[in-house]
Amino acid sequence: MTAKTVFQRIIDREIPADIVYEDDRCIAFKDIHPAAPVHVLIVPKQLIATVNDVTPADEPVMGHLFSAAKAVAAKLGLAGGYRIVINCGPDAGQEVMHVHLHLLGGRKFGWPPG
């Protein structure tokens, strides 16, 4: 059996996290190494490893992550805007093989990203 991802262990309450939102399909918690004043990870409860593993059947849950992001951004007061990032694969620096949105806010962001 494949070892659980760290995010699955957070979902299963095996390790602690600062959870800011949860529903039946996803969980959102603060990144342990924040890159902005607000840095929340929004993770589907269903294991999808990377964007490359998304299938048409996953479209409802993937879309739901964006609804959750909007709710989290409102809850955390990001009225001035925010950035959503999804890293996919080694060139993008994906570390945890459980697909997730990074919701970043509370400061200005440059473009293009690094």
- Contact residues toward ligand 5GP (CB under 6 A) are 6, 17, 29-33, 41, 87, 93-96
Token pair recorded at residue 41: 């990870």
Least CB distance from residue 96 to ligand 5GP, whole Å? 4
Q: Say how far apart CA 114 and CA 99 lie, in whole Å.
A: 20
Token pair recorded at residue 97: 């093989």
CB contact set of 104 (below 8 Å; sequence gap of 6+): 35, 36, 38, 39, 82, 83, 84, 85
Token pair recorded at residue 95: 């570390």
Look up 100 and say whether it is catalytic. Answer: yes
Identified catalytic residue from 64, 98, 100, 102:
100
Nearest to ligand 5GP of 36, 61 (CB atom): 36
Nearest to ligand 5GP of 17, 78 (CB atom): 17
Nearest to ligand 5GP of 32, 74 (CB atom): 32
Q: Catalytic residue positions?
A: 100
